[in-house]
Structure 1
């Protein structure tokens, strides 16, 4: 079968990686959400900016697509206070069953709400939207890559179709192994259309047209380690996101920055506290030192800080960058 079908079954089919009733993705790979609550605090600063731009509506939606086990929403639930707590609606969108200990105030559903006013956020969701890979045959023709779902062995199948060729000619014209990203474009465009007023934010690792990776990025993760991508449900199967293609598909105003740029604009700097504080208040120094270490991990250019933030604004006057 093609990689798109194989990924769909391995990740979301019966017993698939993301729907199993075990510990969930956090036990297999580390995302910004899992790394530190500083990520949630920074996101809350963005939420506050959006809330102000919307005129502080009676209800503000925060919808997390690909919510894992609700970790980000739990963090935000603990941070939100005052009158805003009475206006906010927290919604997790995930195919896995509702986590047993999830806060009762968090709504859990398999489908996105039809209408969203506030923030739609997707952290490392698009990289798991299934796609096909293609490669050149001996005659220089692009053919779909087929994969055995048990062994992971690959062969070449039929020629890529017209839709695939159209996307590749525009977004990944280099010859060789490629990953056909239009299913991610369609998924994100549909998600953004649900936002009537507010913002849609995708956070993911990816690439742009001028720097598409030679040979593609399809890989697997299990138990914190990168592994061969065998689509048998035992590991995460993922591929980097063509972030510029995804951005253009939604048809709304957007900005793309690195996570490092975004988080620094939202107050995460990773700087070490002054040594004077260590003498004046050792406990506070240790607290800030720990926070600095977590912040540094989130903005490290070669790691999480290299992720892309794609932010769309819909139906509001942002008056400049929402991340500025």
Structure 2
């Protein structure tokens, strides 16, 4: 069977191909960094990626219930830790602002919460910043390029589908040992995958029982991100809630994928126009957090987490108030908690300050 014809190269692919021809192949992590964050043509630098006109849909866009329950989690965590004021509510990668707006609709009902909160949104994409401003309306907020720009203080941090866009390196076990998977250029001048020379020793992410053909992934930026979180949470009470799709089994596998207009596509096609992601290594995340002195809860599946927060009761209440929406509400909640959907694919972890020990674990985990 003749393979399907590849789409024409984007301007960013042509630019990367010339760079690789001049300097040599690059790792998957470098390719992801260029494709996602190039200032002129990177996916997250230039477009609105979410919704029907984008390339993917996140949980907050599926149902308001998701954001309401995350708001409940934040409000209860704030109460658990003594209702500090002032305090920071921080979202990493806030999308179109839907999650934050839905969270605040719940948090506004908690006496004292809005009087003490300072909103901080970590977002590099100018079009998304404008969408977030529109979603928040008159509620004041601060925007930042990175988490370490946010002032220190009591912090509650939300990261929904944020870690999956951290660039990863990939390693493949061959007959002669481990090789790094690289991006090079083929005879037609198009980007292509290949393997580097055998490594002198196995990568740190490899396991002793990995057989020939096994693929292991490592996100070089994850330790730095966890340390930034740890520095913030070590200096004041607070919690971080991380929700993402990823691996909790420790099995080897290639999770690098691309989405273009809600359809999977080859990761080297539509460069700068497709979303690139890889599964979050929750075991590595938790290990790094514990090494940094943070408390951890989870991982639990998104299904378990949302059910423990009362998603089905909230669904039923909305159906009673809006009987004509029963089908839509039932369908959207199933997408959020169904084992074959986000409920089984996504997992939830909470990280918290070592100063929180006397307050007990967060709800839902």
Q: Under TM normalisation by the shorter chain, which class is it?
A: 0.7 to 0.9
State the alpha-carbon separation in 2 of the partners of residues 289 and 270 from structure 1.
16
Deviation, 1:191, is: 2.7
Whether 1:108 and 2:155 are equivalent positions in the alignment is: no
Which position in structure 1 is the counterpart of 2:162?
Answer: 125
Which position in structure 1 is the counterpart of 2:308?
Answer: 265
Residues 86 and 289 of structure 1, relative CA distance in 2, 3 Å threshold? farther
Contact 1:270/1:295 (<8 A) preserved: no
Whether 1:301 and 2:339 are equivalent positions in the alignment is: yes
Which position in structure 1 is the counterpart of 2:238?
Answer: 198
TM-score in terms of structure 2 length: 0.77
Superposed counterparts of 1:60-139, under 5 Å: 60-82=87-109, 83-97=112-126, 98-99=129-130, 101-102=133-134, 103=136, 105-112=140-147, 113-137=150-174, 139=175
1:170-197 deviation line (CA, Å, top 9, x unaligned) = 8x95552221245324323433432331
Deviation, 1:249, is: 0.4
Deviation, 1:110, is: 0.4
Which position in structure 2 is the counterpart of 1:143?
Answer: 179
Which position in structure 2 is the counterpart of 1:59?
Answer: 86
State the alpha-carbon separation in 2 of the partners of residues 11 and 145 from structure 1.
19
Q: Is the partner of 1:168 in helix, strand or coil?
A: coil
How many residue pairs align between the two structures?
313
Deviation, 1:161, is: 7.1
TM-score in terms of structure 1 length: 0.86
Residues 76 and 320 of structure 1, relative CA distance in 2, 3 Å threshold? closer
Unaligned runs of 5+ in 2: 1-25
Residues 71 and 284 of structure 1, relative CA distance in 2, 3 Å threshold? closer
State the alpha-carbon separation in 2 of the partners of residues 69 and 284 from structure 1.
25
Deviation, 1:244, is: 1.1
State the alpha-carbon separation in 2 of the partners of residues 200 and 207 from structure 1.
19
Point out the more displaced range, 85-94 or 263-272: 263-272
Deviation, 1:136, is: 3.1
Residues 116 and 129 of structure 1, relative CA distance in 2, 3 Å threshold? farther
Q: RMSD in angstroms over aligned alpha carbons?
A: 2.8
Contact 1:61/1:117 (<8 A) preserved: yes
Whether 1:33 and 2:71 are equivalent positions in the alignment is: no
Which position in structure 1 is the counterpart of 2:38?
Answer: 13
Contact 1:271/1:292 (<8 A) preserved: no
Point out the more displaced range, 125-134 or 222-231: 222-231
Deviation, 1:156, is: 1.0
Q: Is the partner of 1:248 in helix, strand or coil?
A: helix
Which position in structure 2 is the counterpart of 1:227?
Answer: 265
Whether 1:165 and 2:203 are equivalent positions in the alignment is: yes
Contact 2:205/2:216 (<8 A) preserved: no
Residues 11 and 25 of structure 1, relative CA distance in 2, 3 Å threshold? farther
Deviation, 1:159, is: 4.1
Residues 40 and 84 of structure 1, relative CA distance in 2, 3 Å threshold? same
Contact 1:50/1:118 (<8 A) preserved: no
State the alpha-carbon separation in 2 of the partners of residues 107 and 44 from structure 1.
19
Deviation, 1:258, is: 0.6
Q: Is the partner of 2:359 in helix, strand or coil?
A: coil
Unaligned runs of 5+ in 1: none
Residues 88 and 271 of structure 1, relative CA distance in 2, 3 Å threshold? closer
State the alpha-carbon separation in 2 of the partners of residues 284 and 244 from structure 1.
42
Deviation, 1:51, is: 0.8
Contact 2:65/2:315 (<8 A) preserved: no
